[in-house]
Amino acid sequence: MDTIYSDGYPIFFENAVDELTAFIKNGKYSRVFILVDENTSVHCLPIVQDKLGNADNYDIIEINAGEECKNIDFCIGVWKMLIDFGADRKALMVNLGGGVITDMGGFAASTYKRGIDFVQVPTTLLSQVDASVGGKTGIDVDSVKNIIGTFTQPKAVFIDYDFLQTLPPRQILSGLAEMLKHGLILDASYWNQLKQADLHNPPAELIHASVILKNKVVMEDPTEQNIRKSLNFGHTIGHAVETWSLTHDGDPLTHGEAIAIGMLCEAYLAYKRTGLSKNELDEIQFVIGGLYQHYSLNPAMYEDVYNIMLKDKKNIDGKINCTLLNRIGEFNIDNFFEKEELFEALDYYAGL
């Protein structure tokens, strides 16, 4: 699996942890800080430390796990650790974890002393195929997601398949939703490969292919004018359902589970609006429906979900903006919908 080149930095796949340790050892960094959460500290850090050997110029910064920690208080904690450790401008930050660690560590590093170098070592499938590419860093404030952040590229990304061995199955499925999305919006033959694979253990090559697809999109449209909007497929409705679930369910949906719901609803809208065939709609439903447990959507929650969608920054004049498909492998941006049509899409999912 070839190294992928993004906006000025490499994304390593083969022997990625070896590449990481070489990068750390050869880099002229005054000190190295490895940011982990309580889970990657147990499951991933030993793998890195094993290869680092007795290199002694690094410190560990550990935070709690979970989206609720991706906030300004934990970020201040990270900054203060850097201050206490006397980190100077030549320090390196290694973000070893899922999207929470790569987003928050990237933000902390991009603002410490107006920016120190950082590298991303994504350890969840979601962060490998999505969060680690594109240069977005961020934290949540007042539970508004990613409201504070920067566009800053890492010096390198190291994607090691082995980290996924300890990842819980629900987290695999969460990242898988983005891989399915990449196929649906961009590449029918990749979608066909996915259909034939064991998607509960997605093979390394398909992860690599997914990163190539995402990287192509963000390289062509870094500022989200047009084709980068393709990545929103499934996310208008999916994100609203995710937010609803977070505030109402004891065991809320993961991001990918919600996006799976969103993709089904929006595939239905594509069938109604942009020419997706009934056959292809059924195929998408068959594949996604076979992977993710059905979630019960109750008409009593539709208004709430709609109100969440109304806050979406992509809307115009109160109409909801969705990225759809013309067919599998071809996206169609900036489709606007009224409430009734969205409710019909939710009904479609609810009736499956």
State yes or no: residue 50 binds a second copy (CB under 8 A): no
Indicate which of a second copy, ligand NAD, none lies near residue 335 (CB less than 5 to 8 Å, by partner kind).
none
Per CB under 8 A, the list member of 22, 42, 147, 352 interacting with a second copy is 147
Q: Is 224 a catalytic residue?
A: yes
Indicate which of a second copy, ligand NAD, none lies near residue 148 (CB less than 5 to 8 Å, by partner kind).
a second copy
Comparing C-alpha atoms, which of 283, 289, 159, 151 is closest to residue 222? 151
Per CB under 8 A, the list member of 89, 200, 248, 319 interacting with a second copy is 89
Comparing C-alpha atoms, which of 202, 182, 204, 321 is closest to residue 259? 182
Indicate which of ligand NAD, a second copy, none lies near residue 352 (CB less than 5 to 8 Å, by partner kind).
none
Indicate which of ligand NAD, a second copy, none lies near residue 126 (CB less than 5 to 8 Å, by partner kind).
ligand NAD
Q: At what angle do helices 339-350 and 235-248 cross, to 10 degrees?
A: 70
State yes or no: residue 180 binds ligand NAD (CB under 6 A): no
Looking up tokens 């409430």 gives 339
Residue with Cβ nearer a second copy (89 or 294): 89
Report residue 66 as tokens.
Answer: 């979970």
List strands edge to edge, sheet with 156-158: 4-5, 10-12, 156-158, 117-122, 91-97, 31-37, 58-63
By rule CB under 6 A, what string of x and - marks binding of each residue 61-100 to ligand NAD?
A: ----xxx--x--------------------------xxxx
Residues 222 to 281: which contact a second copy by CB under 8 A?
A: none
CA R_g for the chain: 20
DSSP-derived secondary structure for 41-60: HHHTHHHHHHHHTT--SEEE
Q: Is 136 a catalytic residue?
A: yes
The active-site residue out of 95, 239, 257, 332 is 239
The active-site residue out of 70, 181, 182, 235 is 235
- Helix or strand holding residue 211 (H, E): helix 204-220
Smallest separation (angstroms) from a second copy to the CB of 110: 7
How many Å apart are CA 210 and CA 284, to the nearest integer? 18
Kindly tell me the burial class for residue 222, based on how many C-beta atoms sit within 10 Å of its own C-beta (0-12, 13-18, 19 or more).
Answer: middle
Indicate which of a second copy, ligand NAD, none lies near residue 278 (CB less than 5 to 8 Å, by partner kind).
none
Torsion of CA 178, 236, 333, 278, to 10 degrees: 80
Q: Is 255 a catalytic residue?
A: yes
Q: Return the biggest CA–CA distance within the chain.
A: 63
Per CB under 8 A, the list member of 22, 76, 310, 352 interacting with a second copy is 76
Q: So which residues are the catalytic ones?
A: 114, 136, 178, 214, 224, 228, 232, 235, 239, 255
- Contact residues toward a second copy (CB under 8 A) are 72, 76, 79-80, 83, 88-89, 107, 110-115, 136-138, 141-142, 144, 146-151, 313
